[in-house]
Amino acid sequence: MGKEAGGGDAVEGLVVVDKPAGWTSHDVVARMRRIYGLKRVGHAGTLDPDATGVLLVGLGRATRLLRFLTETGKVYRGDVAFGVATDTLDAAGTETGRSSMPALTGDDLAAVLPRFLGSIEQIPPMVSAIKVDGVRLHERARHGEVVERAPRTVRIDRIEIESFTSGEYPQARLLVECGSGTYIRSLAADLGEALGGCAHLAWLRRLRVGPFPIEEGWTLDQIAESPEAALLPMVEAVRHLARVDVDGDTARGVSHGAVFPVTALGGDEPGPLAVVGPDGRLLALYEKGRAAARPLVVLTGG
């Protein structure tokens, strides 16, 4: 595709990637750099190597929008394997404990799920990207370290049992809708403990990030074949935000990062506001305060 898209415009926008198993999020970014011939590529929300599903990748100036996507809600489908614990809380780790749970039923699991709904405290796994004293936990874990991790407040809005298989080592497929920062691996381990045993996450697929479902996802091979078709314009990257369309005079002020009276950009919705010019392109994101609307990100002018 090269460094320029059709019409002479620099390549920029959002791609909804269906990440394959065995790839890190960094691996995907590196592949996207090669496909699009760009250095300025980033992703919103790390997905574990063994997990598959939605990974949002920003190109060019769209990387400046990724922080507004990282904090959006997520939907996952995952398999929880009961009776076996691992050091990473998922199937990639080393087994650390085994105790069969033949008496466990789907009703037993359903009975404890309400404990995990709403705002809950969750201890991040050692194999995660969270930093402790400036060093990521997964780097410490690689050197055999185990450090104390402070609990973090996360939000889980829905847990649905899609299937349950009984036996010596039962397994359940769950659909989980949650807020940013939730570790499904930790949820799996905590469910095992709540049921008087242990568990780990055997398989995970991310079905949605914010307003972007897996149905909009492209595999890496599909992207390589049709890079322009896979690329969403920047205005689509913030489809979840309130939008205001402005005329030419206002657009010029927005392009220069002007501060406007709070009523000038319209809209009463809280949070960032996507400001779109007469040509349909995203110009900036603004934040409305009590008396004024101020720019958060200005995308025009290079």
Catalytic: 48? Answer: yes
Catalytic residue among 18, 48, 79, 190: 48
Per DSSP, the residues of the chain read --SB-GGGPBP-EEEEEEEPTT--HHHHHHHHHHHHT-S-EEEES---TT-EEEEEEEEGGGGGGTHHHHTS-EEEEEEEEETEEETTSBTTS-EEEE---TT--HHHHHHHGGGGSEEEEEPPPSSSS-EETTEEHHHHHHTT-------EEEEEEEEEEEEEE-SSS-EEEEEEEE-TT--HHHHHHHHHHHTTS-EEEEEEEEEEETTEEGGG-B-HHHHHH-HHHHPBPHHHHTTTSEEEE--HHHHHHHHTT--EETTTT----SS-EEEE-TTS-EEEEEEE-SSEEEEEEE-S--
CA distance 213 to 184: 18
CA distances from 128 to 87, 181, 187, 202 (A): 12, 11, 14, 17
The set of catalytic residues is 48
